[in-house]
């Protein structure tokens, strides 16, 4: 069984893009807590209604709510996942360790290192396909036809509400508050791999596959 992969990195550091590539090449299951929360909001569930304002403001949802959502969407005993967006702090890292304890495979954390100054532009220019989740960027990854998803043909790419400048700044601040202690946590467990996430997505993918 493939190791459980825990992706750490700032918003916009390319975790989702690389996860999609690993799903295709190695058969991982990608689980993004942000995507799960947005799906709850779209479905209009009680949970979705409760967290909607937090997401729009770029604030964190409480740890246990996100954990429960993760639990109900994963079979961590017998499947290998890429955890994207969880953990976001050391308390969540401990919760994830407990969740993964019965898993048949080991786990490792990959930190997507990137200069935060470059990120704001990357995020503001990010667009995604609401049908298949493919991620585009107006700066360096345009779809072949304007506003049409090259992967599934859906017409109408979306700009996430929380990808607006002021909210992006808030999300980056929360990331800065937590990343050092998270990196330290996985370093101590000897389970941390760092990759340079500032280069093209092909070369980031190469560094990522070199870890295996
Ligand atoms: P990004 O990492 O690009 O900021 P995500 O899609 O991972 O975006 O998350 C979007 C939002 O969902 C976060 O700003 C936060 O409100 C909420 N969220 C996602 N994961 C978590 C988590 N592990 N704990 C708390 N809130 C979360």
Q: Whose CA is nearest to atom 14 of ligand 1?
A: 58
User: What gap in Å lies between CA 92 and CA 69, rounded to an integer?
Assistant: 13
pLDDT tens by residue, 81-93: 999 999 999 999 9
Q: Whose CA is nearest to atom 3 of ligand 1?
A: 11
pLDDT tens by residue, 119-162: 888 899 999 999 998 999 999 899 999 999 999 999 999 998 89
pLDDT tens by residue, the chain, 212 residues: 899 999 999 999 999 999 999 999 999 999 999 999 999 999 999 999 999 999 999 999 999 999 999 999 999 998 999 999 999 999 999 999 999 999 889 999 999 999 998 888 889 999 999 999 899 999 989 999 999 999 999 999 999 889 988 899 999 999 999 999 999 999 999 999 999 999 899 999 999 999 88
Strand, helix or coil for residue 54: helix
Structure tokens at 97: 């360790």
The pTM (predicted TM-score) of the whole model is: 0.90
Burial class (CB within 10 angstroms; exposed 0-12, middle 13-18, buried 19+) of 119: buried
Burial class (CB within 10 angstroms; exposed 0-12, middle 13-18, buried 19+) of 144: exposed
Report the pLDDT value the prediction gives residue 10, as an integer from 0 to 100.
Answer: 96
How remote is the CA of residue 85 from the centroid of ligand 1, in Å?
Answer: 6
Atom of ligand 1 nearest to the CA of 123: 3
Give the number of other Cβ atoms within 10 Å of residue 75's Cβ.
10
Ligand 1 site residues (CB inside 6 A) read 11, 32-34, 37, 54-55, 58-61, 66, 85-86, 88, 92, 162, 171
Task: Ligand 1 pocket test: pick from 13, 19, 33, 128 the residue with the most ligand atoms within 8 Å of its Cβ.
Answer: 33
Atom of ligand 1 nearest to the CA of 54: 16
CA within 13 Å, CB half, 198 = 8
């Amino acid at each position: 069984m493939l190791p459980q992969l825990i992706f750490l990195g700032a918003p916009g550091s390319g975790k989702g893009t690389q996860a999609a590539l690993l799903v295709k090449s190695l058969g991982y299951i990608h689980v993004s807590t942000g995507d799960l929360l947005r799906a709850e909001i779209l479905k209009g569930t009680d949970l979705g209604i409760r967290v909607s304002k937090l997401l729009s403001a770029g604030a964190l949802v409480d740890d246990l709510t996100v954990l429960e959502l993760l639990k109900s969407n994963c079979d961590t005993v017998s499947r290998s996942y890429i955890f994207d967006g969880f953990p976001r702090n050391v308390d969540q890292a401990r919760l994830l360790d407990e969740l993964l304890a019965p898993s048949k495979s080991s786990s490792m954390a990959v930190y997507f290192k990137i200069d935060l100054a470059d990120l704001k532009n990357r995020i503001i220019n990010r667009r995604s396909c609401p049908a298949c989740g493919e991620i585009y960027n107006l700066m360096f990854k345009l779809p072949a036809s304007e506003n049409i998803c090259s992967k599934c043909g859906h017409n109408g790419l979306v700009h996430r509400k929380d990808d607006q400048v002021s909210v992006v700044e808030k999300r980056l601040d929360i990331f800065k508050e937590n990343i050092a202690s998270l990196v330290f946590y996985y370093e101590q467990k000897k389970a941390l791999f760092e990759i340079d996430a500032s280069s093209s997505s092909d070369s980031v993918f190469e560094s990522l596959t070199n870890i295996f």
